[in-house]
Amino acid sequence: MRADGTEKIAVADSAKFCGFGNVRKKKHMPLCGCGCRCRSPGRPGPVTFVIVTDVDRDMMTVALRQARGSLEAGGVPVGAALAADGALLAAGHNERVQQGDPIAHGEISCLRNAGRRPDYLGTTLYTTLSPCEMCSGAILLFRIPRVVVGEARTFAGDLDFLRGKGVEIVLLDDPDCAALMAEFQARYPDVWSEDIGGR
C-alpha cells in the first residue's frame, strides 16, 4: 500500500485457463489441472503493473454486496457497479433467475439501472466476475474505457479480447469474489450452466 492509499499490483496479461475456463494448477500441463481433460494448451503472458485505488476497492465492495444479495435471493452471484470521478452511478446484479430474464447478467443489470447517458467517457465498470461475451459486447458498444474485475478463476471470460480493443482491465483476483462464485457453482451447477449458455 502506498502513502496515497493506492496499491500497485502485478497482473498477468494471459492467465492460465483450460478450454472450459477453469484455472490450471500448473503451467503447460498435458491435461489441465482442473480435471476436465480438455487438453487445451496454456499460454503464459507478460506481467504488467496496475494501480488500484481506494475508490476501486470501495466500488468492488459495492459490487460484491450486490452479488451476495443475488445469491441470497436464489440467483447467480455476479454483481456490478458503474462509477465516474469517484462517485457511484449505479449498481446491479445478475437477475436471470429472479426475473426470468435470460440477458439480465450483472453488468447488464447495472447498466440498465444507470439509465440513459450521452456517453460513458471517464467511467469504470466494476464486476465481481470476468465478463462473458455478451457483457463484453456491451462494454465495447458503450465504449466503457476501464473495467475492474473481481476474479477470473471460476470463469475466465476473455479479458485479452477486451484489452485488444483498448479497454483497460484491472484483475484484482479477489478471494471473496472467487469463493462466492465457487460456492454457487458447487450448489447450483445446472443454474450456472444455464447462465453461460449450457456449457
Catalytically active residues are 107
Q: What whole-number distance in Å separates Cα of residue 78 and Cα of residue 127? A: 7
How far apart CA 119 and CA 67 sit, in angstroms, is: 26
Count other Cβ atoms within 10 Å, centred on residue 112: 15
Query: Do strands 123-129 and 146-151 pair parallel, antiparallel, or not at all (unpaired)?
Result: parallel
Rg (CA), the chain: 16
User: In terms of residues, how long is the chain?
Assistant: 199
Q: What are the E-state strand segments in 7-120?
A: 7-12, 47-52, 79-84, 87-93
